[in-house]
């Protein structure tokens, strides 16, 4: 310890009492624990404040990024959930119509309300299904849940485009739509076109959003485990 009086400095010996020694040893042990968790890389660039950038574990980097398998199985789950939810909604609708004595004639008398209700229910079912698929993909991949959810949506989009292209090609060759018995809906072509565009846009945006949110929710499961492990060690 250095003490300065006026123009002279004197060196004094540190206190030797038990309290000071214990505090010194405790501070030294804390500093040693803090330094043992720091990895020093000579070529690591410094931030403007002088602190080193956090270093990502090279072994963990191999597990990050988009995972094809996780997104694919998440897409399968989304398809399965859409089928299950559609069956449940159809059963509930039939039961409600039976109780309220709601017939097909009643639906045809109000085509606009019927079409809006059907489109809204379809969008909700697809949104929940894609949230489930994104959640499963995020759980499987462990890292980057948002990317896995986006991958689930991309799988669905690509398969939908492929199916639509195949259907258009087959219809061009064999005129399959001519054999379909389509109901006579008392709505104008402009109304049907506008409603179809709005429903398609809502379907694409909501399924994409909820697939990404579901993927991030699936990753949070692993984040909780990591935090518990860090607290233990």
pLDDT tens digits for 137-182? 999 888 888 999 999 999 999 999 999 999 888 888 877 766 666 5
* Rounded Cα gap, residues 29 and 37, in angstroms: 13
Cβ pair 3, 9 in contact under 8 A: yes
Q: What is the pLDDT of residue 47?
A: 47
Sequence-separated (6 or more) residues with CB below 8 Å from residue 46: 52, 53
* Rounded Cα gap, residues 129 and 156, in angstroms: 11
Cβ pair 118, 195 in contact under 8 A: no
Q: What is the pLDDT of residue 36?
A: 55
Assessment of whether the complete model's pTM goes beyond 0.75: no
Report how far apart, in Å, the C-alpha atoms of 36 and of each of 29, 31, 32, 113, 174 are.
Answer: 11, 9, 6, 67, 73
Cβ neighbourhood burial of 105 (10 Å; 0-12, 13-18, 19+): exposed
* Rounded Cα gap, residues 156 and 72, in angstroms: 9
Report how far apart, in Å, the C-alpha atoms of 82 and of each of 50, 65, 197, 225 are.
Answer: 53, 27, 21, 30
Q: What is the pLDDT of residue 34?
A: 58
Q: What is the pLDDT of residue 25?
A: 72
**Which segments in the chain show pLDDT lower than 70?**
1-22, 24, 29-63, 177-187, 233
Task: Tell how far CA 111 is from the center of its chain.
Answer: 36
Residue that has been written with the tokens 């090279």 in this structure: 58
């Amino acid at each position: 310890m250095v003490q300065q009086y006026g123009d002279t400095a004197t060196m004094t010996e540190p206190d030797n009492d038990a309290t000071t020694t214990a505090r010194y040893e405790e501070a030294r042990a804390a500093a040693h624990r803090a330094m043992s968790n720091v990895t020093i890389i000579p070529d690591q660039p410094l931030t403007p404040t002088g602190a080193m950038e956090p270093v990502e574990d090279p072994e963990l980097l191999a597990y990050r990024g988009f995972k094809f398998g996780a997104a694919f199985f998440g897409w399968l789950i989304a398809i399965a959930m859409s089928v299950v939810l559609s069956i449940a909604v159809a059963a509930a609708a039939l039961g409600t119509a039976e109780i309220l004595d709601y017939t097909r004639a009643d639906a045809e008398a109000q085509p606009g309300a019927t079409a809006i209700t059907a489109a809204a229910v379809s969008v909700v079912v697809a949104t929940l299904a894609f949230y489930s698929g994104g959640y499963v993909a995020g759980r499987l991949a462990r890292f980057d849940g948002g990317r896995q959810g986006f991958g689930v949506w991309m799988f669905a989009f690509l398969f939908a485009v492929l199916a639509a292209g195949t259907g258009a090609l087959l219809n061009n060759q064999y005129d399959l739509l001519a054999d379909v018995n389509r109901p006579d809906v008392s709505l104008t072509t402009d109304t049907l076109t506008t409603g179809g565009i709005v429903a398609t846009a809502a379907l694409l945006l909501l399924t994409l959003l909820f697939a990404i949110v579901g993927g991030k929710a699936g990753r949070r499961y692993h984040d909780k485990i990591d935090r518990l492990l860090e607290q233990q060690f």
